[in-house]
Structure 1
Amino acid sequence: MTGRVEVLFCGFGGQGVLLMGHLLGLAAVAEGLWAAGAGSYGAQARGSACRAGVVLAPEPADFPHVTEPDLLVALAPEAYGRYLPWLKPDGAVVADRAVAPAAGDGRP
């Protein structure tokens, strides 16, 4: 890894969004990288919108929050629609077609 990489997981509470962010951070640290993360979820523990952002870098990050993700992992259509505009122009999306149908959003 040569530079900062931002990953954003998003979906609904109960889908493991915050856990995925935590596990990615732990895996990165185990590989000798620096990782910083922050999670956000609604008032309800299950069923409300949530997200987990993880910043990975070979050295400590100067700003530890995701602002323009390189990778968007979407587990719900609403989350996909909400966070797709955040994605870097050359960023990648991981989502099921039911979550992110090829609806001409301009991204492969």
Structure 2
Amino acid sequence: MSMLELDKKTFAPEVLEAEGTILVDFYGDGCVPCAALMPHVHELSDKYDGQLKFCALNTTKARRVAIGQQVVGLPTVAIYKNGEKVEEVCKDDATPESVEEMIKRNL
């Protein structure tokens, strides 16, 4: 299953109003670290397919959503459980290794 691309209309129903464990990759246009991290997150989505839902949100097009979710830097990768943000890594801490460790802790 590939990652679900969210926008400002689909973020709430797919993440905040959804049951289960969901990973959201917050990225932005022109964000070089975001672009570097993205292929690794896609690999993790294949590896953990069926265990949690993987989504991505372009914060350039959904700035209000990002502010509402207190995304202060990019990239930010967050885990939500039943609509609540439970953990996140951002900026320099958002490495492929730290994202995978966070996934394992929240499965």
TM-score between the two structures when normalised by the length of structure 1: 0.31
Q: Which has the higher helix share?
A: 2
Higher relative contact order (CA 8 A, sep 6+): 2
> Between Structure 1 and Structure 2, whose CA radius of gyration is higher?
1
